[in-house]
Amino acid sequence: MRENVVIRTVCRLFVPFIQLFALYVIVHGASGPGGGFQGGVIFATSFILLLIAFGLPCVRGRFGRSWIRAYAACGIIIFAGVGLTCILFSGNFLEYAAIETALGIPHLQTLMIDIVEAGIGITVMAVMTSIILDFVGKEEEEPL
């Protein structure tokens, strides 16, 4: 299947659109259906499609193991960082309204929620990709 030119071409065409759609779902979380969890999983499916069409070495080469771990931690750091920033502006943990009143910028809460959603999306994307790559890596070591 990996030599099938139709599958490889279609996957190569589809992956950027899937990733763009995932980013749309994440960014759209504040104003419509969507959010970090859904968008992250959609982003991970683009890597799964790459895995099906091009095999494990291709995906590992594009999205290495250390990068996956870094991204998985990075999302939570973004989320918790936003929460701690609220404490710096003398609010409670994750109280976005405190930053909005301190800086006086209207609709800043929407931006904070988008940043939080992006953090959720990064972690979910990295963890989903990590899980599927770990399972596939195990199967390729020990063929059934």
Partner 1 sequence: MNRSALVAVIFIGIILIWAAEDMPAYGDPKAPANEYAAQMYIDRTPGDIGIDNIVTAILASYRGFDTLGEVVVILTAGISVLLLMRRGEGQ
Q: Which residues bind partner 1 (CB under 8 A)?
A: 29-35, 72-73, 75-76, 79-80, 83, 93-94, 96-97, 107, 109-110, 113, 116-117, 119-120, 123-124, 126-128, 130-131, 134-135, 137-138
* Structural tokens at position 104: 């006086």
Nearer to partner 1, 11 or 97 (CB): 97
Nearer to partner 1, 58 or 73 (CB): 73
Rounded distance between C-alpha atoms, residue 100 and residue 86, angstroms: 10
Please state the closest distance from residue 53 (CB atom) to partner 1, in A.
22
Please state the closest distance from residue 113 (CB atom) to partner 1, in A.
5
Q: Please report, for the chain, how many H helices and E strands are present, in that order.
A: 6, 0
Please state the closest distance from residue 5 (CB atom) to partner 1, in A.
32
Residue 110, amino acid: T
Nearer to partner 1, 52 or 97 (CB): 97
Rounded distance between C-alpha atoms, residue 138 and residue 119, angstroms: 29
Nearer to partner 1, 3 or 141 (CB): 141
* Calculated CA dihedral for residues 126, 111, 35, 16, nearest 10 degrees: -60
Please state the closest distance from residue 44 (CB atom) to partner 1, in A.
11
Rounded distance between C-alpha atoms, residue 122 and residue 23, angstroms: 10
